[in-house]
Structure 1
Amino acid sequence: VSFMVCSSRVNRNFLVRSSFGFYLPGLAPVSFCEKEDYSCSLQYKLYYICMHFYARTDLRGNTFCFRFDFCKDTDERRPSENLGQVLFGERIETSPYKFSFKADKACVKVCTKSYDAGSREDKLKLDFLKKGMELNYQHHWIVDNMPVTWCYIVEGNQKVCNPGFPIGCLVNQEGKPKDACVINADFNKKNTYYIFNHVDITIVYHSGDETNGMSPRLVAATLEPRSVKHSDEDSPSCEGTPMDIPAEFKSNLKVTYSYSVKFQVSTIWLKISKKALPSISPYLLMAQLHLIFFSIMNSLVIILFLSGMVAMIMLRTLHKDIARYNQMDQEESGWKQVHGDVFRPPRMGMLLSVFLGQGTQVFIMTFITLFLACLGFLSPANRGALMTCAVVLWVLLGTPAGYVSARLYKTFGGENWKTNVFLTAFLCPGIVFVDFFLMNLILWVEGSSAAVPFGTLVAILALWFGISVPLTFVGAYFGFKKPGIEPPVRTNQIPRQIPPQTFFTKLVPGIIMGGILPFGCIFIQLFFILNSIWSHQMYYMFGFLFLVFIILVITCSEATVLLCYFHLCAEDYHWWWRSFLTSGFTAVYLFVYAVHYFFSKLQIIGAASTILYFGYTLIMVLIFFIFTGTIGFFACFLFVNKIYSLLKVD
């Protein structure tokens, strides 16, 4: 199943091919042949793909993506995108680059773009193109739904492959080549732009196995960009001096785009390495895997340490404390002394119950999404599937959110059930939607094609109000019908006075310490996730991510339980909000890391791009805050209920 998992897209002959094996939904491979029939395809179609992080310097990249004066395909319509692609700002356009299977071609003209020095419109187009080369904007092409990669040699003689290639480069006024201009010594004119108007494309395919009825399939696609000044645009030779564009536009200019394509047969199914991991070299892959294994081993050491601490508390300290207390010959002290106040309802119990309801919804959604991704159902080859799955699951999980929120609110003794249900259905989703709408409004104003269309926003609102909200009301109805959770000990009428606390048992220091260990378990995976979001690198390590997810849940639970026990021993019984905020503070570290990533890894220009980055980051931080806070709360809730249920209290 392995190569099927990493294959391209749904084949139109899925039912015909299904007898040869099991394909995960949406990932059946496409077969090619020299003569097209019902079971295979003859044509390779190359598509332009644009995303809102098109350039690392400008997060409004789609503002410019389709405004560049490149060769356009006017004969075909854009392929439809799913909800996940639209929300991520991914747009796909057809291109005039089309190839027939096993038909090698050399120096084929695609189109010619002419620029008249006396035309203001042509001057703007050329200035726009030069600005893109100066900012190192890149093409992103796909064929058979697989990135066309550009491989080059870096320091240390290591080969690195990227899923995009630059549209051109610049040699500045000092004669220093910038970005991709360093790869060619012929790029030596000062204050000159060099456009990559020619590409040598190599398509690697597997010949198939006729005995098993398996037709040839694409396993890799690479290219090498070149800058060529074509002397004869009608009969290009693709040899000669580079296509230079002077910084000052004084004379007419023509740029001819061309390509060459060749097919190579492979006897090995390379689709796993070339399709799922198109943007890294084997050396870099090994370095990343070593880093990930180190991170996981570090996380496991943290878990063992915390587990040992929890086991020592549960099996030694608590066991002895409970035994002495139940003998009735020992005075109350520490956590036993606050048994009459530990289940006193918290302040702002409604808000806490709303956060916990939403956190339960996010937790279940995240678990199911990562589990499906780990199995391969949400492969990166199936574009937008991860986001689509997450949104659909969130919509369908309104019932658990309403039930948990209502049940806990009733446990806290709340009576304003209408307000509770309303806030559960609208508070957190409303904050996320308003933030997302404001970011989308900026993209609309900037004219970016990454902006979510108005119709899609209406569809999202319809899913929210039409499905999620009613399901939340249904869950709240069943939650309020049940009695509140009965505490194991009675609560005193008069609150007990809390003694003076040391520095480490105060609220703020305890919360700050509580988020360090969970964040230490995830920060390396967080680096890869941020790279996949903002630096156009494909994320493929869902197995590791699911393992880190489990580690995060365990670490948040154990760290919160430990701090909760220490605070109860200090006779501070305000544990409800403290348990939520202790693990939830991990989100603050996530935000700090995102700020560090912004200044160290991205070279963002412009106020709009900065606002977009931090606007979307705040959405992630809020969701992560609710998610981790819910984990810590329920772990602490179970712990407190368990230890006080063992006490014999009159």
Structure 2
Amino acid sequence: MRAPAMLRWAAAAVTLVVLVAAAPAAGFYLPGVAPTDFGKGDSLPVKVNKLTSVKTQLPYAYYSLPFCKPNAIVDSAENLGEVLRGDRIENSPYVFQMREPKMCQIVCKIAVTDKEAKEFKEKIEDEYRVNMILDNLPLVVPVIRQDKNIVAYQGGYHVGVKGQYAGSKEEKYFIHNHLSFLVKYHKDDDSELSRIVGFEVKPYSIKHQIDDKWNDVNTRLSTCDPHANKFVASSESPQEVEAGKETIFTYDVHFEDSDIKWASRWDTYLLMTDDQIHWFSIVNSLMIVLFLSGMVAMIMLRTLYRDISRYNQLETQEEAQEETGWKLVHGDVFRPPTNSDLLCIYVGTGVQFFGMLLVTMIFAVLGFLSPSNRGGLMTAMLLVWVLMGLIAGYSSSRLYKMFKGSEWKKITLRTAFYSLGLLLLFSSY
């Protein structure tokens, strides 16, 4: 009775393999990175993110400054990585319609107080940038690099600029109150649907003038009027940041058909202008490590060469002569060092850190940590760090037992809390 049963199982297995092999291949998207198709006229909500600066590491929420606000501010759901990065994604009063340009759209009019003007000036002094998001794409500013004559990109636009104007020797602060957005899209050949592949902006500072009287968003401006073919193309008459003065915020929206495919839209962010700072730091650290390693290697080689020469001269003398120099090392090979507990803890923490980097890099290479999944890298690093704690505890306790230690459970607990405790201690200052 066993032979027919085995034949039935074998036939079922062969049938399953044939069905799987004959099934058509189907692609899939990772969660959070699927493309979104937009038809003509569809709403494109623009979201705002934190204010960041390359001069300071302290981020601020977008609405910490008196920018134009929507009727109700709604916070977007954020993952653990976004929270740790300081992201604060909220809605904005900017709303686009797919492939429908807008010119000289008025957002709001504000009059800053003394305190608000001081805050604006501080952010301009520290070169803070405004970050926005459209269809999960961060806002960039195209910058022409004079050294290579190519177009690079800057993440976010500056809140304002500081400089002299109209022959004045005193430097003043000017706010960027007019934004000229450019939305690049890739249109489907078989339908009217499109996908967003680029989100750029050119900021301007312009002191707007009202034609008649203020009528909210329907006000006619003499400095920016599409009916009279007047558009903002420069900052010849900038808007100064000063308490009590009214500032009118406006924006334009342009759409441009692009050959860039949706899968390649993140390639733009490989040409960011801020990357050169990181390269300089990496090269500087590498040179210091190589220099110090070379000095230590030279000292060790000279010492070892002198001892070996001395030993060769003493070979013809009595064998009972006292051992000196490097010959004494053989007695310390298996001898537990002083503070072996700390050595085991450091080794376990190093294994945990190296394992976290290795696993995270493997997942990033495989495409599981796409940049479109904002905060995914930070979240993955934290989860892998926690899981690698098991290997860290095993490594530290294993090395401790090699030193003939008996309290390996205590070493495991110290490995788990030692590095975290030091990190919390230093971060509190």
User: Which band: TM-score by shorter chain?
Assistant: 0.7 to 0.9
Looking at structure 1, the residues matched to 257 and 64 of structure 2 have their Cα atoms a distance apart, in angstroms, of 37
Post-superposition Cα deviations, 1:455-478, rounded to whole Å, max 9, x if no partner, equal xxxxxxxxxxxxxxxxxxxxxxxx
1:264 aligns with 2:249: no
Looking at structure 2, the residues matched to 246 and 347 of structure 1 have their Cα atoms a distance apart, in angstroms, of 63
1:199 aligned counterpart, secondary structure: strand
Give 2:207's aligned residue. 229
Q: How does 1:79-158 map to 2 (within 5 A)?
A: 79-115=76-112, 122-156=113-147, 157-158=149-150
1:71 and 1:279, CA in 2 relative to 1: closer, same or farther beyond 3 A? Answer: farther
Looking at structure 1, the residues matched to 197 and 168 of structure 2 have their Cα atoms a distance apart, in angstroms, of 37
Give 1:360's aligned residue. 351
Question: Normalising to structure 2: TM-score of the pair?
Answer: 0.72
Q: How does 1:239-254 map to 2 (within 5 A)?
A: 239=231, 242-245=237-240, 249=243, 252-254=244-246
1:91 aligned counterpart, secondary structure: coil
The percent identity for this pair of structures is 33
Give 2:27's aligned residue. 21
Q: Is the 8 A contact 1:171 1:188 kept in 2?
A: no
1:400 and 1:151, CA in 2 relative to 1: closer, same or farther beyond 3 A? Answer: same
Post-superposition Cα deviations, 1:288-329, rounded to whole Å, max 9, x if no partner, equal 7xx89x98xx99xx9xxx9xx9xxxxxxxxxxxxxxxxxxxx
Looking at structure 1, the residues matched to 192 and 389 of structure 2 have their Cα atoms a distance apart, in angstroms, of 45
1:413 and 1:76, CA in 2 relative to 1: closer, same or farther beyond 3 A? Answer: same
1:279 and 1:224, CA in 2 relative to 1: closer, same or farther beyond 3 A? Answer: farther
Counterpart amino acid of residue 184 in structure 2: V
What is the CA-CA distance between 1:158 and the residue it aligns to?
4.3
Looking at structure 2, the residues matched to 262 and 188 of structure 1 have their Cα atoms a distance apart, in angstroms, of 35
2:269 aligned counterpart, secondary structure: coil
Q: How does 1:72-471 map to 2 (within 5 A)?
A: 72-115=69-112, 122-156=113-147, 157-172=149-164, 190-210=170-190, 215-232=193-210, 234-236=219-221, 238=224, 239=231, 242-245=237-240, 249=243, 252-269=244-261, 272=264, 274-278=265-269, 280=271, 338-436=329-427, 438=428
Q: Please tell me whether Structure 1 or Structure 2 has the larger radius of gyration of its CA atoms.
A: 2
Looking at structure 2, the residues matched to 333 and 134 of structure 1 have their Cα atoms a distance apart, in angstroms, of 65
Looking at structure 2, the residues matched to 123 and 341 of structure 1 have their Cα atoms a distance apart, in angstroms, of 71
2:271 aligned counterpart, secondary structure: coil
Q: Is the 8 A contact 1:276 1:381 kept in 2?
A: no
Q: Is the 8 A contact 2:239 2:247 kept in 1?
A: no
Post-superposition Cα deviations, 1:163-215, rounded to whole Å, max 9, x if no partner, equal 1111211224xx5xxxxxxxxxx8978543322111111101000243xx894
Looking at structure 2, the residues matched to 45 and 25 of structure 1 have their Cα atoms a distance apart, in angstroms, of 21
1:338 and 1:168, CA in 2 relative to 1: closer, same or farther beyond 3 A? Answer: closer
What is the CA-CA distance between 1:337 and the residue it aligns to?
6.7
Give 2:303's aligned residue. none
Q: Is the 8 A contact 2:129 2:156 kept in 1?
A: yes
What is the CA-CA distance between 1:75 and the residue it aligns to?
2.5
Looking at structure 2, the residues matched to 143 and 270 of structure 1 have their Cα atoms a distance apart, in angstroms, of 14
Question: Normalising to structure 1: TM-score of the pair?
Answer: 0.49
1:171 and 1:187, CA in 2 relative to 1: closer, same or farther beyond 3 A? Answer: farther
Looking at structure 2, the residues matched to 214 and 370 of structure 1 have their Cα atoms a distance apart, in angstroms, of 39
What is the CA-CA distance between 1:134 and the residue it aligns to?
3.1
What is the CA-CA distance between 1:30 and the residue it aligns to?
1.8
Give 1:45's aligned residue. 45
Q: Is the 8 A contact 1:198 1:228 kept in 2?
A: yes
Looking at structure 2, the residues matched to 388 and 246 of structure 1 have their Cα atoms a distance apart, in angstroms, of 40
Q: Is the 8 A contact 1:140 1:147 kept in 2?
A: yes
1:336 and 1:130, CA in 2 relative to 1: closer, same or farther beyond 3 A? Answer: closer
What is the CA-CA distance between 1:392 and the residue it aligns to?
0.7
Q: Would you tell me which structure has more strand in proportion to its own residues?
A: 2
Q: Is the 8 A contact 1:163 1:279 kept in 2?
A: no
1:351 and 1:127, CA in 2 relative to 1: closer, same or farther beyond 3 A? Answer: closer
Post-superposition Cα deviations, 1:375-421, rounded to whole Å, max 9, x if no partner, equal 22112221111110011111122221221111211111112334323
Looking at structure 2, the residues matched to 189 and 338 of structure 1 have their Cα atoms a distance apart, in angstroms, of 72
Looking at structure 1, the residues matched to 116 and 357 of structure 2 have their Cα atoms a distance apart, in angstroms, of 45
Match of 1:58 among 47, 56, 61: 56
Count of residues paired in the alignment: 355
Looking at structure 2, the residues matched to 201 and 378 of structure 1 have their Cα atoms a distance apart, in angstroms, of 29
Post-superposition Cα deviations, 1:91-115, rounded to whole Å, max 9, x if no partner, equal 2121111111111111111111124
Looking at structure 1, the residues matched to 387 and 241 of structure 2 have their Cα atoms a distance apart, in angstroms, of 57
1:349 and 1:34, CA in 2 relative to 1: closer, same or farther beyond 3 A? Answer: same
1:422 and 1:95, CA in 2 relative to 1: closer, same or farther beyond 3 A? Answer: same
- Provide the aligned C-alpha RMSD in A: 3.6
1:33 aligns with 2:39: yes
Could you tell me which runs of 5 or more consecutive residues in structure 2 were left unpaired when the two chains were aligned.
1-24, 225-230, 298-318
What is the CA-CA distance between 1:20 and the residue it aligns to?
6.2
Q: Is the 8 A contact 1:105 1:262 kept in 2?
A: yes
Q: Is the 8 A contact 2:105 2:252 kept in 1?
A: yes
1:271 and 1:226, CA in 2 relative to 1: closer, same or farther beyond 3 A? Answer: farther
Q: Is the 8 A contact 2:40 2:193 kept in 1?
A: no
Could you tell me which runs of 5 or more consecutive residues in structure 1 were left unpaired when the two chains were aligned.
1-18, 36-41, 116-121, 176-185, 310-330, 440-650
